[in-house]
């Protein structure tokens, strides 16, 4: 049999209804054979102010010799998603097979856009060095025409050592001043959450800096009035469980302004958090959603203001009724909240 995996999409309006789609973003059937499998996965998208949509993803190609992975990038026009206007572009141009010495395997492709309409792509790069493994964070930026501005196999200042410190799980978001805010996970035997402020060409503007305590799988947004919310999953949370923790950062110094503060899963139960996602509502508040890692059947939600104060404490907003949840942590959070009518629980005056 011929096996392949394509990327598909649907466009939604502001009320969460399907505007058009579903449709295909990539099509690998004709290029795949019984001896060659092409699989596109882990997509991440970012939209420019003029309707250009940048898409980054991982492509795995399996043949009788092994697996080759690469990061791909394409630009679509919002009004014509049937074929890319630019690309697909092979960002990393790897030709080796995963598991061979100094050959990468890529994970966690993420894309964002700056205020000057430059697409910034980051990813994790894991590879063997002899009998040991290192993991670094790669970087690339492109303009709206698809011309490459910068490519970095590893970001300076985040240098993994084989068998030692590893850097992974990048999360990138455009911020004011034509810059991007990159949060990441550092593994030194314990997990830490760090962050950098970068120019769109990859030059450092600030950092790396690290938040107190343990942390993994970070995510961030910039509030409309400037401060940045950085959240992560803290393995040392309440009742010896993993809980969502966050800080707000000053928009000028990028130092911690408030926190760290924990958003504990309600009901007083010993439930751990996983699959954290952060986005923003139309009023400029930070929307945090996550699932429970124990049974993976519930989605939780909290709302936080730019001063770090909690507007809506963690509540359960979805129960899958016994089905295992599979959620994406890229894009606009795990839950829809932009409908014409809104119900906030617990009820409070607004």
Question: Above 70 in pLDDT, residue 93?
Answer: yes
What is the pLDDT, as a whole number, of residue 12? 74
- Tokens standing for residue 23: 């449709």
What is the pLDDT, as a whole number, of residue 350? 35
Direct distance between the N- and C-terminal alpha carbons of the chain, in angstroms, rounded to an integer: 58
Residues 6+ apart with CB under 8 A from 253: none
Question: Above 50 in pLDDT, residue 337?
Answer: no
pLDDT band per the 50, 70, 90 thresholds, residue 331: low
What is the pLDDT, as a whole number, of residue 343? 37
Residue 30's Cβ-side half-sphere holds a number of Cα atoms within 13 Å equal to 2
- Tokens standing for residue 209: 């800096």
Q: Are strands 4-5 and 37-47 parallel, antiparallel or unpaired?
A: parallel
What is the pLDDT, as a whole number, of residue 268? 55
Distance between CA 336 and CA 250 in Å, rounded?
28
User: 236 versus 163: which is more confidently predicted?
Assistant: 163
pLDDT band per the 50, 70, 90 thresholds, residue 163: very high
What is the pLDDT, as a whole number, of residue 265? 75
Residues 6+ apart with CB under 8 A from 326: none
What is the pLDDT, as a whole number, of residue 298? 81
pTM here is 0.88
What is the pLDDT, as a whole number, of residue 236? 80
What is the pLDDT, as a whole number, of residue 117? 92
pLDDT tens digit sequence for 261-291? 999 877 656 677 888 889 888 888 999 988 8
């Amino acid at each position: 049999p011929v096996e392949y995996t394509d990327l598909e999409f649907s466009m939604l309006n502001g009320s969460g209804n399907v505007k058009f789609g579903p449709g295909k973003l990539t099509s690998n059937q004709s290029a795949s054979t019984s001896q060659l499998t092409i699989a596109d996965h882990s997509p991440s998208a970012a939209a420019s102010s003029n309707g250009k949509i940048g898409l980054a993803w991982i492509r795995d190609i399996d043949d009788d010799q092994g697996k080759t992975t690469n990061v791909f990038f394409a630009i679509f026009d919002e009004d014509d998603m049937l074929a890319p206007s630019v690309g697909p572009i092979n960002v990393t141009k790897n030709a080796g097979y995963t598991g061979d010495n100094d050959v990468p395997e890529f994970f966690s492709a993420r894309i964002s856009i700056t205020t000057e309409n430059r697409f910034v792509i980051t990813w994790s790069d894991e590879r063997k060095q002899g009998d040991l493994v290192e993991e670094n964070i790669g970087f690339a930026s492109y303009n709206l025409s698809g011309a490459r501005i910068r490519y970095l196999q590893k970001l300076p200042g985040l240098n993994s050592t084989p068998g030692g410190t590893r850097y992974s799980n990048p999360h990138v978001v455009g911020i004011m001043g034509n810059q991007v805010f990159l949060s990441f996970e550092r593994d030194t035997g314990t997990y830490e959450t760090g962050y950098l402020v970068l120019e769109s060409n990859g030059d450092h503007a600030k950092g790396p800096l690290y938040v107190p305590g343990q942390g993994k799988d970070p995510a961030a947004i910039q509030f409309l009035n400037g401060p940045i919310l950085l959240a992560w999953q803290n393995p040392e949370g309440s009742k010896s469980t993993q809980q969502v923790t966050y800080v707000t950062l000053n928009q000028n110094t990028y130092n911690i302004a408030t926190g760290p503060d924990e958003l504990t899963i309600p009901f007083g139960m010993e439930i751990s958090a996983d699959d954290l996602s952060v986005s923003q509502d139309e009023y400029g508040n930070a929307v945090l959603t996550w699932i429970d890692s124990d049974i993976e059947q519930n989605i939780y939600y909290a709302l936080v203001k730019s001063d770090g104060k909690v507007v809506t404490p963690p509540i359960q907003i979805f129960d899958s009724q016994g089905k295992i949840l599979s959620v994406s942590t890229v894009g606009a959070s795990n839950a829809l909240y932009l409908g014409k009518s809104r119900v906030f629980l617990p009820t409070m005056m607004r």
